[in-house]
Structure 1
Amino acid sequence: MTTPVAKPRLTLGPVLFNWPAERWRDFYARIADEAAVDTVILGEIVCFKRAPFIADALEESVDRLLAAGKEVWLASPILVGSDRERAAMRDLVADAPLTVEANDMGALALLDGRRHAVGPFINLYNEATLAWLAGRGAVSVSLPAELPAASVAALAGAGRELGVDVEVQVFGRAPLAISARCYHARAHGLHKDGCQFVCGNDSNGLAVETLDGQSFLTVNGTQTLSHGYLCLTAELERLAAMGVGRFRLSPHDTDMVRVIDAFRGVLDGERDGADAAAEIRALVDAPVANGFFHDTVGASYVTGAATGC
């Protein structure tokens, strides 16, 4: 076990979307050179078919980020189905020279007894589960995005006692579900095996509307995300007081360096959370939300004295 970090740390989660390899490479080059983020998590975790396209860029990005002084972790896929996918995950876990973030139970089984992290795609809702994960070698856990403040506080307290860093996603579309079926392909009248990689047409995901035209969700290949963007700048002080040591930002097609700078400024006490949220609103293509944290409708944004706004 390790002692949770005392200084709040910013984590940049893996890119969830199907970005071209050059764009992917350029993105991480800028993160290495300009972004005040502590840990960067790399890997294709949504669709195994996309992974070969970024393989070379992945290796280059790891080297560049490490040279820039960033902590780098490698992420396992969210959903593993075929024999080829299982073999690739076994290879990742066996050969990775870096910390691996497990995003499904198969990866957890392979990592048993080794130092590893646990991603937000593994269900973690109570202290008993956290203790079980810690006993198997987890040194950091990223909580599901839908947890309210009371649950976050309870798990952060348990993490402190266990010596496990507890992380909360504070920016980006919230991951809601994963499926063996590719919704992106289906929306274009294609089958998953012949998808033509149409997910690459939507760098922030494909918007889903209700029958009456109301924005509802976002589709990213086999993944379902929220329509709005989590934005917990106004809640950072409260989260830190709970004992949350890591704050996760999910990459999107926007100026992520500015997003990172906004969160870093609030964590360092140099910016007001509400002002930072206003800046982020101007950077994204959908509303911001913090409802899950405040135990209300997830898509809502709660303001007022209780949130620091």
Structure 2
Amino acid sequence: MDLTVGPNQFFWEAPVWAAFYQSLARTPVARVVLGELVCSKRLPYFQQEIPGAVEVLQAAGKEVALTSLALITLKRERKLTADLMAMGLPVEVNDLSALVHVPQGTLFWVGPLINVYNEGTLRWLARRGATRVCLPPELPLASVAALAAEGAQLGVAIEVWGHGRVPLAIAGRCYHARLHDRAKDNCQFVCGEDPDGREVETLDGQPFLAVNGVQTLSGSTASMAHQVEALNGAGVTSLRLSPQTGDFEALCRAWTARLAGQMEAGELAALSAGMAPGGRLSDGFLTGDAGAAWSGGA
């Protein structure tokens, strides 16, 4: 297995965004997905940094792709999606409506927001041109193994969510704007105040979820630190790491060491927990427990 870094789900200032990808070029990850996944209003703030990031990453030997939006609703968003095809890079589809802009015969990737739950869906996507699929994070190991086996026959690389807050839902309304009594069209980009998402508690004060503009995320950070051997045995080709604040470069190096058998699961889990927003890890979706459950290697 190798490592893919998925698109940044959060709104960071352009210098922070650019510095992140400069540092990522120094890591041993195999590939990187760039661009805006969550809210098209954010894109102009760092769009001018994308060509430089692509150049730096490719010079470092990384495979680079561009992400589509998770929810394409506006005319300008449709145009942005169509324009992705002219960039000369693979496109990762996270909304099936983006396929309208992918010409027949053009190869593409599929992100974790597409519901690839069974072999039939995987076969259809492969016929359409998919060469790499990051499975939805909520799948249990048995389903992952079945899809990885099908992917091997189809020549489709299968990824699994390895680290990061899990993308659970996307909406037309912006929770961040509403929380601050602002209209969505006049949000003033308040989501930027929470660079790893804003944590949400239940009515009795228990940690629950996180919100990121129009996106709902898991409150805990999913980590497959204790599941590497099981996923490797299931035929998974890559693990996906989702960007977060902190020393992400060190996290990528630690994951590389874990895949190479040079770091124990508990050591990686301890490092990840220390860096995780909120300090909580989970792997319950994969093990078949509640999604927020954490095996701790048991």
Greater alpha carbon shift after TM alignment, 281-290 vs 139-148: 281-290
Once residues 228 and 210 of structure 1 are traced to their aligned partners in structure 2, the CA distance between those partners, rounded to angstroms, is 14
TM superposition shift of 1:304: 4.5
Runs of 5+ consecutive residues of structure 2 not aligned to the other structure: none
Once residues 266 and 100 of structure 2 are traced to their aligned partners in structure 1, the CA distance between those partners, rounded to angstroms, is 42
Letter paired with 2:74: S
Letter paired with 1:116: F
One of 9, 14, 20 as aligned partner of 1:21: 14
1:126 to 2:118 alignment: yes
One of 157, 169, 174 as aligned partner of 1:165: 157
1:83 to 2:75 alignment: yes
Question: What's the secondary structure of 1:293's corresponding residue?
Answer: helix
Once residues 109 and 9 of structure 1 are traced to their aligned partners in structure 2, the CA distance between those partners, rounded to angstroms, is 31
One of 133, 154, 179 as aligned partner of 1:187: 179
Is the 2:265–2:297 Cα contact (8 Å) retained in structure 1?
Answer: no
One of 78, 84, 96 as aligned partner of 1:105: 96
Question: What's the secondary structure of 1:60's corresponding residue?
Answer: helix
Runs of 5+ consecutive residues of structure 1 not aligned to the other structure: 1-7
Question: What's the secondary structure of 1:254's corresponding residue?
Answer: coil
Once residues 297 and 229 of structure 2 are traced to their aligned partners in structure 1, the CA distance between those partners, rounded to angstroms, is 15
The TM-score, its normalising length taken from structure 2, stands at: 0.97
The TM-score, its normalising length taken from structure 1, stands at: 0.94
Question: What's the secondary structure of 1:218's corresponding residue?
Answer: strand
The C-alpha deviation readout for 1:62-109, integer Å capped at 9, x for no partner, is 11111111111111111011111111111112x021111011011123
What is the correspondence of 1:39-118 to structure 2 with a 5 Å cutoff?
39-93=31-85, 95-111=86-102, 112-118=104-110
Count matched residues: 296
Once residues 70 and 222 of structure 2 are traced to their aligned partners in structure 1, the CA distance between those partners, rounded to angstroms, is 20
Once residues 255 and 235 of structure 1 are traced to their aligned partners in structure 2, the CA distance between those partners, rounded to angstroms, is 23
Question: What's the secondary structure of 2:116's corresponding residue?
Answer: coil
Query: 2:268 maps to what in 1?
Result: 276
Query: 2:252 maps to what in 1?
Result: 260
Letter paired with 1:15: N
The C-alpha deviation readout for 1:134-170, integer Å capped at 9, x for no partner, is 0000000000000011110110111011110000011
TM superposition shift of 1:266: 1.1
Once residues 56 and 28 of structure 2 are traced to their aligned partners in structure 1, the CA distance between those partners, rounded to angstroms, is 15
Once residues 285 and 166 of structure 1 are traced to their aligned partners in structure 2, the CA distance between those partners, rounded to angstroms, is 27
TM superposition shift of 1:190: 0.9
Percent identity at matched positions?
A: 47
Question: What's the secondary structure of 1:213's corresponding residue?
Answer: coil
What is the correspondence of 1:108-257 to structure 2 with a 5 Å cutoff?
108-111=99-102, 112-257=104-249
1:290 to 2:287 alignment: no
